């Protein structure tokens, strides 16, 4: 379980905030429409939603897993953006302080998804793959850690959403750690910040709201 492996997989991150006046509708849209729409795109294998616990001006994080970066250039993915529902258009317009990043999952260890997540953005160029792999391996040996992965943003595919401020925009590599509980997430965050030092650009913890796997979805009748 502690072995770190290379992968061809990809992950889309969307961090965002929402006006409290629209928060209930925003959450219902994600939970009743948007997550399912994205996971039904061929190549996408699942999605998770999180709410920030610490360290973030953006309260919501959505992660979408795909088989490869090529899934973000497919005709099916393109069509998903040309056939937006009015509910989607409305809620995309309400999102604020958004970050959208399409990442290559370069290294990974463990399996499954935890009840809490540690997310660390690294200063670009501050660590090479070998150094990151060593940190991932050490972290996997900690009690309560279930899965670790490091991600590298793809500049061409990480096009910003309209609500993202592009001035001074930085595409930072990330380390994500799935753990069993929020207290373990906080302890893991402290440990990683100490290990990584000046390589840390931003660090935060999240609570899992829910996850959706492609195999959970029933077939759509033609």
Domains and CATH numbers, the chain: 5-213 (3.30.70.100)
User: What confidence tens digit (pLDDT) does each residue in 84-141 have?
Assistant: 999 999 999 999 999 999 999 999 999 999 999 999 999 999 999 999 999 999 999 9
Residue-level pLDDT at 57: 75
Question: pLDDT-based confidence at 1, cuts 50/70/90?
Answer: very low
Residue-level pLDDT at 163: 87
Phi, psi of 27 (to 5 degrees): -70, -40
- Least confident stretch, 23-37, 38-52, 79-93: 79-93
User: What confidence tens digit (pLDDT) does each residue in 149-197 have?
Assistant: 999 999 999 999 888 989 989 999 999 999 999 999 999 999 999 999 9
Token pair listed for 44? 């996408």
Please compute the mean of the pLDDT values over residues 17-24 and round it to a whole number: 94
């Amino acid at each position: 379980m502690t072995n770190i492996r290379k992968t061809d997989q990809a992950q889309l991150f969307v961090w965002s905030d929402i006006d409290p006046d629209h928060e209930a509708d925003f959450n219902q849209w994600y939970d009743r429409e948007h997550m399912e729409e994205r996971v039904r795109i061929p190549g996408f294998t699942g999605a998770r939603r999180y709410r920030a616990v610490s360290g973030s001006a953006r309260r919501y994080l959505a992660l979408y897993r795909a088989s490869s970066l090529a899934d973000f250039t497919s005709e099916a993915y393109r069509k998903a953006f040309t056939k937006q529902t009015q509910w989607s258009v409305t809620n995309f317009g309400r999102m604020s302080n958004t970050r959208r990043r399409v990442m290559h999952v370069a290294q990974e260890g463990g399996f499954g998804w935890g009840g809490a997540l540690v997310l660390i953005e690294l200063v670009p160029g501050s660590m090479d793959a070998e150094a990151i792999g060593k940190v991932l391996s050490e972290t996997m040996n900690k009690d309560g850690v279930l899965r670790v992965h490091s991600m590298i943003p793809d500049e061409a595919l990480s096009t910003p959403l309209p609500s993202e401020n592009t001035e001074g925009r930085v595409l930072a590599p990330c380390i994500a750690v799935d753990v069993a509980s929020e207290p373990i997430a906080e302890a893991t965050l402290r440990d990683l910040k100490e290990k990584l030092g000046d390589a840390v650009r931003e660090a935060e913890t999240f609570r899992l709201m829910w996850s959706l796997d492609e195999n959970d979805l029933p077939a759509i009748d033609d």
